[in-house]
Amino acid sequence: MDLIKLNATERNTRGKGAARRLRGKKMIPGVVYGPKMDPVMVSLDTSEFDKIVRDRGVSGLFLSLKIQGDAPQTKVVMLKELQMDPFGIEYRHADFQQIDMDTQVTVSVPVEILGTSKGVKDGGGMLQIIRRELEVVCKPGDTPERIEIDVTHLEIGDAIHVESIDLGEGVQIPHDVNFTVVTVVPPDAGEEEEVEEDDLLDEEEMAETSEDAAAESTE
């Protein structure tokens, strides 16, 4: 796995007003934290960060973060949380967690569907993707870019469950129940709304953020 290089600048100001001024200068306020370091408040160039997000997405994003300041340092980090404005246009705040390449992490990885199922092609059924991302636990270097699921063999009524997905040695999908990832439903069920992963995510995970980050992201 290649680490993506990203530049950052250490900052000493915090709070809503300081964050608003940064965004006015096309900068993104952020924080870097980890079990073996004190939190470092940083700012990022919006255009540089946006290019990375557009090229690589935000899931499983591992970076070599070069922090300029009184004591320049480089940290290996993962993007833990990215806060956007209500319209999903402006970056509000970025949280980065320092990681150890030899320690397992929990990462959300996008699901990619391969092929057209028999139930859709021959029976007029509809493919429903229940989970568009799956959480995996692995070392950073073993993190897959995507989870490919071949659905060509699925007939109407068939489904693929999490326990049937093998990502190889060293990569696990934690789960308490054998939940459905993708299924083929009859034509008359096609009007039912497709379940999005966002509706299924743990609320505590979605709410995870530092108090400073939450304050800075609020106008």
Each domain of the chain, given as residue ranges in start order, spans: 4-99, 105-198
Right CATH for 105-198 from 3.40.50.2300, 3.40.50.2020, 2.40.10.340, 2.170.120.20 = 2.170.120.20
Question: What's residue 128's pLDDT?
Answer: 96
Who's near 213: CB < 8 A, 6+ residues apart? 31, 81, 83, 93, 95
CATH of the domain spanning 4-99:
2.40.240.10
**Do residues 15 and 75 touch, judged by C-beta distance below 8 A?**
no
Q: In what order do the strands lie in the sheet with 147-150?
A: 133-138, 105-114, 147-150
Q: What residue ranges of the chain have pLDDT lower than 70?
A: 1, 189-219
- Taking phi over 0 as left and psi of -120 to 50 as alpha, with beta for the rest, 198 belongs to alpha
CA distances 83 to 33, 72, 96, 132, 144, Å, are 16, 26, 12, 20, 24
Question: What's residue 206's pLDDT?
Answer: 47
- The first and second tokens of residue 86, run together, are 């209500």
Is pTM beyond 0.95? Reply is no
